[in-house]
Amino acid sequence: MDAAVLNRHVEGLAASHQRLLSTLDPVEGPGLTDEMVRRPSRLPDWTVGHVLTHLARNADSLTRLTMSAENGESVDQYPGGATGRNADIEAGAVRNARDQVADLRRSVYELEGAWAIAREAWFGRGRLWSGHEVPISELPLRRWREVEVHAGDLGLRELGFDGPESWSTDYVRHDLALMSMQWKARGSMGLTDLPEQVLRLDPARRLGWLLGRAEVDGVPPAGLMG
């Protein structure tokens, strides 16, 4: 675990959390409306309400993993596994804008509070809902990706959350380096570079392709997030 890198990810995520919350809060920013919550998002079969509920439940799940690791325990990311996760998202998607924002804010502050007091957890591991185990120290970057990418998935152009172009430059810089390395690692001796058409894209769109959030004519999907 590199403490300096971990701190940078936590700081970057905190900024993304605050940008999202302040924009959605009608007191601080333009504000989420009940009509917006019911709109289709950029994700198939999910409304804006589904995406926001997922972000809140994801924060709760990472708090769960962190505090369990702090106590030397290993638990599943979501109570009830994938079935429980999906049921909670469906149940929460229909809530009004005020309740969506309040729930998201609570979940964010509880997660950031858990990380502020964690000590032993950073040396532990957690089991994701996919079944894979990862170091707890990877969770801040994973959450940062979750927040930035799903904020873009909202498709709320009037709030500045619509696709890769809305991702913060700080996040793009950090995750593009990591995802580009993952792409190269799949090739012979790890030397496979990105396709030329992808390299010509601006950084956000390039990362969008790597994460399955942008299509490039003549180039198949990156296939890293399956």
Which sequence spans correspond to the domains of the chain?
Answer: 3-162, 175-210
Per-residue pLDDT band for 206 (boundaries 50, 70, 90) equals very high
Q: Is the pLDDT of residue 190 over 60?
A: no
- The three-state (H, E, C) secondary structure of the chain, written as one string: CCHHHHHHHHHHHHHHHHHHHHHHCCCCCCCCCHHHHHCECCCCCCEHHHHHHHHHHHHHHHHHHHHHHHCCCCCECCCCHHHHHHHHHHHHCCCCHHHHHHHHHHHHHHHHHHHHHCCHHHHCEEECCCCCEEEHHHHHHHHHHHHHHHHHHCCEHHHCECCHHHCCHHHHHHHHHHHHHHHHHCCHHHCCCCCHHHHCCCHHHHHHHHCCCCCECCECCCCCCC
In angstroms, the CA 216 to CA 171 distance is 21
Please, what CATH class does the domain formed by 3-162 belong to? mainly alpha
- Residue 126 φ/ψ, nearest 5 degrees: -135, 150
Percent of the chain with pLDDT over 90: 83
Q: What is the pLDDT of residue 7?
A: 94
Percent of the chain with pLDDT over 70: 96
167 CB-near residues (< 8 Å, 6+ apart) = 148, 149, 151, 152, 204, 207, 208
In angstroms, the CA 209 to CA 223 distance is 9
In angstroms, the CA 99 to CA 29 distance is 16
The burial class, CB within 10 Å (0-12 / 13-18 / 19+), for 188 is exposed
Q: What is the pLDDT of residue 192?
A: 66
Nearest 5°: CA angle at 140, between 72 and 21?
120
The first and second tokens of residue 14, run together, are 């905190």
pLDDT digits (tens, 9 = 90+) for 70-105: 999 988 999 888 999 999 999 999 999 999 999 999
Provide the mean pLDDT of the chain.
94
Q: Which residue has the higher pLDDT, 148 or 194?
A: 148
Q: What is the pLDDT of residue 189?
A: 56
Dihedral angle sign, alpha carbons of residues 98, 101, 107, 111:
negative
Q: At what angle do helices 169-185 and 139-153 cross, to 10 degrees?
A: 110
215 CB-near residues (< 8 Å, 6+ apart) = 209, 221
C-alpha radius of gyration, the chain, whole number: 18
